[in-house]
Chains A and B, each alone.
Chain A
Amino acid sequence: MKTAQQIAHEVQSGATTAVAELGRALDAVRDRNEELNVFLYVDEAGATSAAHAIDERVARGEVVGPLAGVPIALKDNLCQTGVPTTCSSKILEGWRPPYNATVIDRLLAAGAVPVGKTNLDEFAMGSSTENSAFGPTRNPLDPSRVPGGSSGGSAAAVAADMTPISLGSDTGGSIRQPAALCGLIGMKPTYGLVSRYGLIAFASSLDQIGPFSKTVMDSAILLEAIAGHDPMDSTSLPEPAPSLVAHVNDGVAGQRVGLVRELVEGADADVVAAVEQARRALEDAGATVVELSIPEFRLGLSAYYLIAPAEASSNLARFDGVRYGNRIDADDVTAMMEATRTAGFGAEVKRRIMLGTYALSAGYFDAYYGQALKVRTQMIQAFHRAYQQVDLLLGATTPSVAFKFGSKTSDPMAMYLSDVFTIPTNLAGEAAVSVPFGTGEAGLPVGVQLLGPGRSEARLFAAARVLEIADGRS
């Protein structure tokens, strides 16, 4: 399987064509999509015409871009003009957006070929893709296990060699956790680095779009192509995209790394062992690793499960059957809205809407949502203190390797704990990357997490590259 970097190079040089690479991707989708349920929609016609257009530009001698002819999978919460976009929810079934998300415009400008839309937990709420209204996605490495979530489909597309890269969104770990479970690089960029315009919101203050890939370099290329200020997103950082590709091989010599006790606490032994080996690999490459404790991380999960549902309860109000998506008719407009939402949303989405509505209600606001905001402020301060001592933090991405279907669906709290190590980064608006490092139970990959302050993506990729090399992958 070629990397995105190789494909772009070969397409630009004429060694292969975008059409041929797309054909190979579509073949892979045909081979395994029925088994794995990765893509909810394959835009064969749109992708084919995009690939032809790129080949014509190459033929005319144009420099197409860093993703020339690279097939890419898109999480189905990203709006693409004319392409069905469902958020894996029955409430949006059949809806075709009339506009492109900013990231899609930027992908097209970079020469990428969007192949289709991938499965997710409904409205990105979940950690296993079992909450999809259109059935779960299976982990390509072991189809009896989950790929993680919520961006399980985008992770599986890359893990199954359907596309070399994909985009997911990460609200509490929804890129890093499936990356860990599928043996991929997955990054949650600094809040505001990538425009959210056209990303269907789950929790607006936490959501970020980010890359999946098999190599660090591919994630760097992809993130560099989609990052940078967007006037359509008021929370977008003011500066243009940072230089990432140029720093991938910077190494970690002289870097101070903090191994965070709370980011391995409660993890399985195979996961703890992998983190310990990653520590040695970083030290071997010239980094200094110190152990530290950030007790505030223990409060992250509780704060997250108030803030994210609160924002979601408001963000998901618009799915009322009035303007788009499904409508269940009833006697009057209020009854129509109720019937539409009752039939359209799945159990986990309803659970979170109710939780969020409660947390924002008069009389409970201060005790729940208000308190969670205070914890969030403490989390930001705790990170800030840590980054005065060290350049990066190290820990596990998730407490265990990929788990079996149904093993956590009956206990929401057990499922929520899958994100206990990833949530602090979202609350603080900072960056983190999951890197596959070694294997654990049943030979499944383990994800190690590197965390950095805002705008530290170049440093994170450089450290991830060190682990990639130490792990014997390229």
Chain B
Amino acid sequence: MTLPAGWEMVVGLEVHTELKTATKMFCGCANAFGSEPNTNICPVCLGLPGALPVLNERAVELAMAIGMALHSTIAPSTFHRKNYFYPDMPKDFQISQYDLPINSGGYLDLPDGSRVSVERAHLEEDTGKSTHLGGSGRIHGADRSLVDYNRSGVPLVEIVSGPDIRNAAQARAYASELRGILIATGASDGRMEEGSMRIDANVSVRHAGEPFGTRCEIKNLNSLRSLQRAIDFEALRQIELIEEGGTVRQETRHWDENLGQTSTMRTKEEAEDYRYFREPDLADLAPDQAWQDRVRAGLPVMPAQRRRELAARLEEPSEAQLDAVEVVIDQGLERFVHAAAEDGVDAALALSRAANELVAGLDGIERLSPASFSATVAMEQRGELSATQAKTVLAELLAHGGEPRDVVAAMGFAQLSADSLGATVAELIEQNPDEWSRYREGDDKLAQFFIGLVMKATKGQANGKSVIAELQNRR
């Protein structure tokens, strides 16, 4: 989407990610999604009187890993209490980090070459989850509210970008790239639909070159699509408002996915005073160099570099191939393509099979070794399997496992012999004399006609290139 001439949007994102720890941030309860409500709870995460928090070291390690991947500075930090009343927050304060976060500064490079600065990435605890019955489904006007505290105390990292993003597509690319990093570091499963990653967007507009305008914060965007739509909507709303002579009010806004609109949640005047102060129940957090070094040593290669390494297997990759590279990296499947390429198989063909067939069968990916994948694609490349057969073999390997040769044999995909193919082609030429004569006179399009007939006659077992060779031989 393009904005009206002369206008520019300024966007900063706050990304909250749940950390993939075994236990919660301050107690030993399981950090698990989808359990029966109020089963993963204890005095600490229920905020019972007298209970005290004890920091989960694994959460600290994952937060450091995120910071390292974002080129942040890891510094001695403290915990603060953010005080406000809300029924799904058991202590009626949230333990968070305030003026001294564990990760300060940093940046994230996007695939399009742009760089977005990171202001901070700090640790905090999640709240419980409310369900409101009756009324509009929001807390006000509800007949009854139910609270599930399983999520209460789940560790979160909030990653705050600088106001460097200039369009919704870039915002989406930032969120997507960040998600890749969170998955790569093992910090998060990146499942936005389960709320593991939630995004708030700060949006303002200005005439290019002017100072920043007044911003609005759109809360809780739960998919990349919502993020992009909400930012575009909000920027246009602000531009229209200003062009009609109005002014933008600093406020928090809610995104309605169905209506495709943002609406006021609360204005700046209604904003809470959180009365931040140091959390007296926790010690300061100052990971020593040895601990930091251990975390750094365990960091995996980040998606951007993995994309570069995979794309380097291709000669002048097309846009579509670059998209396939992104899909394969997102799903962590590049080892299959690299193995095939090392075996001398065409990387483009392997990439295509990985981006399509392997992604479609992700649930069974453990059953397929890179060597089996490589062997299957190699058979396709040599013409021993048709494309359809190769796809079927991969699907079978993903579904039930096994050796490619055995699957090929069991499915009756043993190569049609040249004699048998020749006989089939000869028969079909005889049955279709008009088409054959036109082909012989140079109408190459009719090759497809004959390939179609051969495929039908052989139930897809023939190889297209071999059919063309047979036709050429008889021309």
**CB within 8 Å of B: which residues of A?**
77-79, 85, 87, 92, 95, 97-99, 101, 196-201, 203-205, 231-235, 310-311, 313-314, 317-320, 322-324, 332-334, 337, 357, 360-362, 365, 369
Chain A residue numbers with a CB within 8 Å of B275 are: 313-314, 357, 360-362, 365
Structural contact, A201 and B50, CB atoms closer than 8 A = yes
A333: which of B91, B139, B277, B281 is its contact (CB, 8 Å)? B139
Looking at chain B's contact residues, the main secondary structure is loop
Q: Is the CB of A98 within 8 A of B43?
A: yes
Q: Tell me whether B81 is interfacial, beta carbon within 8 Å.
A: yes
Q: What are 5 A-B contacts defined by CB distance under 8 Å?
A: A198-B51, A234-B53, A320-B85, A322-B147, A337-B87
B298 within 8 A of A: no
Any A CB within 8 A of the CB of B107: no
List chain A residues, Cβ under 8 A from B145.
333
Contact A360 B87 (CB under 8 A): no
Closest B residue to A207 by CB, please name it.
B280
**Residue from B46, B48, B54, B93 in contact with A314 in the complex, judged by beta carbons closer than 8 Å:** B93
Tell me whether A361 and B273 are in contact (CB under 8 A).
yes
A320 vs B54: C-alpha distance when bound (angstroms): 24
Contact of A360 among B83, B140, B282 (CB under 8 A): B83
B282 in contact with A97 (CB, 8 Å): no
- B55 contacts the other chain (Cβ, under 8 Å)? yes
CB neighbours (8 Å) of B414 from chain A are none
Inter-chain contacts of B43 with A (CB < 8 A): 97-99
> How many residues does chain B have at the interface if contact means C-beta atoms less than 8 Å apart?
31
Further pairs besides A310-B277, A318-B92: 8, Cβ < 8 Å: A99-B51, A204-B281, A231-B54, A232-B54, A233-B54, A235-B281, A314-B83, A361-B275
Of A79, A310, A318, A324, chain B has the most CB atoms within 10 Å of the CB of A318
Given A314-B275, A317-B93, A97-B50 contact (CB < 8 Å) = yes
CB-CB under 8 A from A79, the residues of chain B are 48-50
The distance in angstroms between the C-alpha atoms of A205 and B280, with both chains bound, is 5
Q: With A204-B280, A235-B281 as known contacts, state yes or no: A317 contacts B85, CB within 8 Å.
A: yes
Query: Which positions in B face A, CB cutoff 8 Å?
Result: 43, 46-55, 81, 83, 85, 87, 90-93, 139-140, 145, 147, 273, 275-277, 280-283
Do B52 and A196 touch across chains, with their CB atoms under 8 A apart? yes
Query: Is there an interface contact between A197 and B91, defined as CB atoms closer than 8 Å?
Result: no
Question: Chain A nearest CB: distance from B281 CB in Å?
Answer: 5
With known contacts A314-B93, A360-B83, A235–B48 Cβ distance under 8 A: no
Among A97, A101, A314, the one with the most B-chain Cβ atoms within 10 Å of its Cβ is: A314
A81 to chain B, nearest CB (A): 11
Q: Which residue on chain A has the smallest CB distance to residue B277?
A: A360
Q: Is the CB of A232 within 8 A of B83?
A: no
* A334, B85: Cβ atoms closer than 8 Å: yes
Pairwise interchain contact B83-A318, C-beta atoms closer than 8 A: no
The answer for the CA separation of A361 and B275 in the assembled complex, in Å, is 5
Inter-subunit contact A234/B49 (CB<8 Å): no
Given A337-B85, A360-B275: A234 touches B281 (CB 8 Å cut-off): yes
In the complex, chain A residues whose CB is within 8 Å of the CB of B93: 314, 317
